Amino acid sequence: MTRRRPVRRSRRKQQDDIQFVLVAVIAAGAIALVVAVVHWLLVRWWLLLVAAVVAVPVGIVWWRRRAERMRWEQARARALRYGLAQLDALSHRQFEFAVRDLMLRDGCTDAIQVGGQGDLGADVKATDPLGRRWVIQCKHRRGGERGAAVGTPELQVLNGTGRPVHRADVVVMLTNGRITQPGRAFARQQRLHLVDRQLLGSWASQGRPLWELLTALPAPRRPSSLS
């Protein structure tokens, strides 16, 4: 047994040497390629000048178009309004995207729709201009107020994931329907925020940010002109 160990170490050393040689060859080839490209460009310096002359105006045009598109999208977002009848007519997934668009309208530039299988209670995530992280669970009811009311069990699920899993500062249950009184009591105890049909109608149709309509929000994370 003592005679076989040096053989094993020798094989490992050979493998390490082969890997080292391969890495060295690849690195040398990459360096040689870079040197060749630089040399080729230096000899043909006028190509760089032509490329620069062409690239500068093209870049200016692209930047202007991008700025115009961004201004147009921002103006469209600020003008976004929904009536309750429009929201009632949406599918559940469309409802989630509508809530995301409303958060974008309000200035949450990173708002995303994340609802789906395995969403762990989060349908929309966003960061407001004051740096607070929002998690919103959406409960869409085709019948509006006539649909099933959101109750304590749904709020318990949201409470179990909103802060521990999603690290949210503001955890919101949002519905175009009703919320039960026991559910409201549980939300107050657990510092969850509720957006029922009435509040949703005001938010979606008036254009005011949601944080101006809710009370007892956590303090801002960073200074802002809105603070």
Distance in angstroms (rounded) separating the CA atoms of residues 208 and 78? 10
Grade residue 227 by pLDDT with cuts at 50, 70 and 90.
very low
Residue with tokens 């202007």: 64
Instruction: Tell me phi and psi for residue 62, to 5 degrees.
Output: -60, -45
3-class DSSP assignment, residue 115: coil
Residue 118 pLDDT? 73
By mean pLDDT, which of 27-36, 80-89, 134-143, 194-203 is the weakest? 27-36
Residue 81 pLDDT? 95
Q: What percent of the chain has pLDDT over 70?
A: 86
* pLDDT, tens digit, 9 for 90 and up, residues 109-138: 999 999 777 778 899 999 999 999 999 999
Q: CA of 140: how far to CAs of 57, 137, 201, 203, in Å?
A: 49, 10, 13, 16
* pLDDT, tens digit, 9 for 90 and up, residues 5-42: 555 567 777 777 788 888 888 988 899 888 888 888 78
Q: Give the 3-state secondary structure of 47-77.
A: HHHHHHHHHHHHHHHHHHHHHHHHHHHHHHH
Residue partners of 178: CB distance under 8 A and separation at least 6: 145, 147, 149, 150, 196, 197
Q: What's the mean pLDDT in 42-71?
A: 73
By CB atoms closer than 10 A (0-12, 13-18, 19+), residue 215 is exposed
The helix/strand count (H/E) of the chain reads as 7, 5
Evaluated on CA atoms 87, 89, 93, 94, the torsion sign reads: negative
Instruction: Tell me phi and psi for residue 41, to 5 degrees.
Output: -70, -35
Residue 207 pLDDT? 87
CB 178 within 8 A of CB 196: yes
